[in-house]
Amino acid sequence: MYNKVILVGNLTRDIELRYSQGGMAIANTAIATSRKFTVNGEKKEEVCFVDITFFARSAEIANQYLRKGSKILVEGRLNFDQWVDQNGQKRSKHSVVVETMQMLDSKGENQGAGGYPAGQSQAPQQGGYASQQPQSYREPAGTQQQPSSYSQNKQMPQSSSIPEIDIDEDEIPF
């Protein structure tokens, strides 16, 4: 049997990161994909919303770099979840467990979403991460360059909402 799903779309909400009792990261979000077609000369668009789940290191990377609206390609497997709700009703849904991802945003398109130059991001390979030379950061168009003495004294703002993750250059997925 073969269970493989490939989706390209935009995230519909920010990543919700949590950790299992064993310490493994689990990240949940959803992706919206669309299909355009014509019926009797009338153009239509169909949108599909799918819940997706990242595990382990890819969950932490997704939490660090992706935001609502980020364009992403995911490959994974279809998963069928069943549960009983608070009213005793049996509920179920399909979702995708992500095995590999590719971030598709360019820096200019979704700056708050940790996007990367188009064509520079690759699908993860052996070990789950792309083996590509790190790209240097380029300032967005229209920003002014400050003297080097200014940038040395400048401190980054503290953000308590996003956990800081120590990533070696070899682990960067783009």
Indicate the pTM of the whole model.
0.60
**Where is pLDDT greater, at 117 or 34?**
34
Close Cβ partners of 65 (under 8 Å, ≥ 6 residues apart): 103, 113, 114
DSSP state letters, 37-102:
EEETTEEEEEEEEEEEEEEHHHHHHHHHH--TT-EEEEEEEEEEEEEE-TTS-EEEEEEEEEEEEE
DSSP state of 19: E
Please tell me the distance from the alpha carbon of residue 28 to that of residue 123, in angstroms, as a whole number.
20
Per-residue model confidence as pLDDT tens digits over 35-66: 999 999 999 999 999 999 999 999 999 999 99
At 173, list the tokens. Answer: 């997925």
What is the pLDDT, as a whole number, of residue 1?
86
- Is 153 strand, coil or helix? helix
Per-residue model confidence as pLDDT tens digits over 112-166: 434 333 333 333 333 333 333 333 333 344 444 444 444 444 455 454 555 555 6
The CATH architecture to which 5-132+146-171 belongs is Beta Barrel (2.40)
Domain boundaries along the sequence of the chain: 5-132+146-171
Burial of 47 (0-12, 13-18, 19+ CB in 10 A): exposed
What is the pLDDT, as a whole number, of residue 105?
82
What is the pLDDT, as a whole number, of residue 170?
59
For residues 77-104, average pLDDT? 94
Average pLDDT, the chain: 75
At 33, list the tokens. Answer: 């994909």
What Rg do the C-alpha atoms of the chain give, in angstroms? 19
Please tell me the distance from the alpha carbon of residue 32 to that of residue 21, in angstroms, as a whole number.
30
Please tell me the distance from the alpha carbon of residue 100 to that of residue 25, in angstroms, as a whole number.
15
What is the pLDDT, as a whole number, of residue 9?
95
Asked if pLDDT for residue 101 goes beyond 90, the answer is: yes
pLDDT above 70: percentage of residues in the chain: 61
Q: Contact, 125 vs 101, CB < 8 A?
A: no
